[in-house]
Homo-oligomer: A and B are copies of this chain.
């Protein structure tokens, strides 16, 4: 007989049974510092931090946003976890941190086993690739809060940096070169606008193919995983390459994200045309008749992270990027001025 609780929309038995798979799914999403076991009230992570003179924890919390709707429409749930972890890694990497552990939250109306398993597979893969331990999580069944099939996916990352090596932008100087690191697509920003243009206005479907966008379906293009630049930044550190600052280009684009690391009196000029904007952005702009200004405010426009470095460090960064198979573009420079970004 169904319990009253299950009739109210919460299935404790299913919640229990899907959790039984977790230890196998998460085997590779661990690190030697992890103590304890899955199912404890809290995740345990040793904070020895050998070699750090004055260790500082760096943390960030984020969600996947409405990119989730593309995953739901495509019925493919095993990439959004990677998006989330990579997004979080980038947020703390721009401060100089090494990511250590991660926690996830899945909010849903009705728990569905295959969706849950897909999400967790993606999280596990993302953690393993980023060398991050998944130490905790919560799955909330909230009947009536989410549309059938929908869910929200949220994560928190914690990493560590030596206090002296915190990148807070204070080393950025006039004349520094601004380098753009190529993105894989929209990453996790601007999906509400992209969906409105592509699906509401153009009446396209996630499975539609557009000639000028190549052979992949729109859904595949829109689900491209957010790139994690942290391993690349770590490589630059290990090579003692002079990096003055970095900004993760997410919601708000260049305009809102670059000033987060600029000291007063410094601005940035970004040269239009100094990198190739991926076709998906041009397509959205034309189809939605969106101004260039707004495109740059909403989307990353092909640049997922910017680095600020003295000109003499640029060749070494470009060499390291080639080795890491990351595209790098010289897109501008740091100038005297108000703490803002000017497209020139």
Cα(A315)–Cα(B227), bound, Å? 57
- Point out the residues of chain B lying under 8 angstroms from A46, CB to CB: 54-57, 163
Stretch at the interface among A36-44, A114-122, A174-182, A215-223: A36-44
**A105: min CB distance to chain B, Å:** 5
Q: Which of B47, B147, B156, B251 contacts A47 (CB 8 A)?
A: B47
**10 pairs of A and B residues whose beta carbons are closest in the complex:** A156-B156, A61-B103, A8-B196, A42-B58, A42-B92, A47-B55, A8-B193, A8-B192, A45-B57, A42-B60
Cα A193 to Cα B291 with chains together (Å): 49
A69 to B168, CA, bound (A): 39
A-to-B contact residues, CB < 8 Å: 3-5, 7-10, 12, 16, 35-36, 39-49, 54-63, 65-66, 68-69, 91-92, 94-95, 97, 101, 103-105, 107, 135-138, 140-147, 150, 152, 154, 156, 158-160, 163, 166, 168, 190, 192-193, 195-197, 247-248, 251-252, 256, 260-261, 288-291, 294, 297-298
A-B contact pairs, 29 of them (CB 8 A): A3-B297, A4-B197, A5-B190, A10-B192, A10-B193, A35-B163, A41-B92, A41-B248, A42-B91, A42-B95, A42-B97, A43-B59, A44-B58, A46-B163, A47-B57, A48-B54, A59-B135, A59-B158, A61-B138, A61-B154, A63-B107, A63-B142, A66-B144, A68-B145, A69-B144, A107-B107, A141-B192, A145-B150, A145-B152
Within the complex, what minimum Cβ distance (angstroms) separates A187 from chain B? 14
CB closest chain-B residue, reference A94:
B41
Q: State in angstroms the CA–CA spacing of A214 and B3 once bound together.
A: 29
Closest to A7 in B: B196
Contact A41 to B60, CB < 8 A, known contacts A5-B298, A142-B66, A166-B35: yes
- CB A145 to nearest CB in B, in angstroms, measures 6
Neighbouring B residues of A44 by C-beta, 8 Å:
56-58, 95, 166
- Set of chain B residues within 8 Å of A69, measured between Cβ atoms: 144-145
Contact of A297 among B12, B192, B290 (CB under 8 A): B12
Task: Please name the residue on chain B nearest to A157 by beta carbon.
Answer: B42
